[in-house]
Amino acid sequence: MRQYELVFIIRPDLEEEAVEAVIEKVKALAENNGAEVTKLDKWGKRRLAYEIKHVREGYYVVMNFKGEAAVAAELDRVLKITDEILRHIIVRDDDN
């Protein structure tokens, strides 16, 4: 299993319960595909470097997990079609 880091930005206009639901959905998706979530860090609302979809800020979340490449591919596929997510990136962490 490899170590991955996922950073995703959630739309800022969502209620707090909806933000938590999106975070829980992403975490559950990773775990249901066989990954082990090692760290989940909520950075909160931050200003974006540039405007994305006419939005100037977003709710940042960083999630570290261990899993196979198929888990990262499935997360990437689902996050691309999730309306609540503005941007995401998955990076393989070779240091660990």
The tens digit of pLDDT for each residue in 3-60 reads 999 999 999 999 999 999 999 999 999 999 999 999 999 999 999 999 999 999 999 9
Please determine, for residue 92, whether its predicted confidence score (pLDDT) is greater than 90.
yes
pLDDT bin (cut points 50, 70, 90) of residue 66 is: very high
Residues 35 and 73 sit within 8 Å (Cβ to Cβ): no
Domain 2-92 is classified in which CATH homologous superfamily? Ribosomal protein S6/Translation elongation factor EF1B (3.30.70.60)
Please determine, for residue 96, whether its predicted confidence score (pLDDT) is greater than 70.
no
Query: What was the pLDDT predicted at 1?
Result: 87
Domain boundaries, the chain: 2-92
Distance separating alpha carbons of residues 59 and 84, to the nearest angstrom: 10
Coil, helix or strand at residue 32: helix
Q: C-alpha angle with apex 94: 72 to 1, nearest 5 degrees? A: 50
Rounded to an integer, the average pLDDT of 75-94 is 95
- Residue 95 or 12, more confident: 12
